[in-house]
Amino acid sequence: MSALTRAELASAARIVVKVGSSSISGEASWRIPMIVQALSAAHRRGTEVILVSSGAIATGIPVLDLESRPTDLATQQATAAVGQNLLVFRYQEALRPFRIVAGQVLLTTGDLENPTSRSNARRAMDRMLALGVLPIVNENDTVATQEIRFGDNDRLAALVAQLLHADALVLLSDVDSLYTKPPTDPDAEPIDVVQADADLAGLEFGAAVVNSVGTGGAATKVSAARMAAGSGIGVLVTSADLVGRALEGAPIGTWFEPSATG
């Protein structure tokens, strides 16, 4: 099978879509129905979709009447436990009109490194997809500290895409594409395509961003995209607001060409 192109996203057999905390939490929670509508449209086209969604801690903060993101690990874990429950409920409510059932999958990178748990996770999600279920994957923040400390689930999404042999990975963020410099820089230029063997030395992409609801930034997305693309998985980085067009194969965002040797 030849490597997938951006234009072929609409006909991909299996896609992993990742969305970050800042795109769906707090006042941005209105995007959940919009994202679900796009995923449901892909589902109707015959594409198997796996959603990797951050946002457990951010969703739990207002429920627990916390003034800001907690800094101690125990409160972060407790907040994640409360927020994860509400987050999946919101997705399920949005999915109800489309008659799609969500299935929660909580993983740690350790789960994907252990052969037994890795096999179990793959088998469970393969079966979910066969049953028409939408797996919603998140870092298991209640027992793990990896996402809390380092990421925004970009690496987890790449690992899930590799695990399930996905055709493509779509990383959604707050910007429409990656840029050669931070988007606020007047000299910044959007990057359309990153070739599989491209040398990215010298490109800034923007510093990692840490905001009030999540962690991450362009650097983590580039790292995750290169990881997945190196495995033969095409990767699109674009804005959550453009998710519908992205899954239809529109010429938007930054496309990481999959390696032919992946």
How many beta carbons lie within 10 A of that of residue 116, not counting itself?
Answer: 8
**Residue 199: pLDDT band with limits 50, 70, 90:** confident
pLDDT of 212 above 60: no
Pair of tokens at residue 37: 């509508």
Q: How confident is the model at residue 182 (pLDDT cuts 50, 70, 90)?
A: confident
The predicted model scores a pTM of: 0.91
Identify the helix (H) or strand (E) that includes residue 51: strand 48-53
- With a pLDDT cut of 70, the percent of the chain lying above it is 88
- Please state whether beta strands 48-53 and 14-19 pair in parallel, antiparallel, or not at all (unpaired): parallel
Per-residue pLDDT, 211: 39
**Strand (E) or helix (H) holding 193:** strand 193-194
Q: What pLDDT is stored for residue 109 in this prediction?
A: 75
Question: Which residues lie across from 179 on neighbouring strands?
Answer: 190
Query: Which residues are part of a known binding site for substrate?
Result: 54, 141, 153
Please enumerate, by residue number, every residue annotated as part of a binding site for ATP. 18, 173-174
Q: Residue 208 has what pLDDT?
A: 40
CATH topology of domain 6-256: Carbamate kinase (3.40.1160)
Q: What is the pLDDT of residue 3?
A: 78
Count of CA atoms in the C-beta half-sphere (13 A) of 118: 13
Pairing of strands 193-194, 48-53: unpaired
- The annotated binding site is made up of 18, 54, 141, 153, 173-174
- pLDDT tens, residue by residue, 23-39: 999 899 999 999 999 99
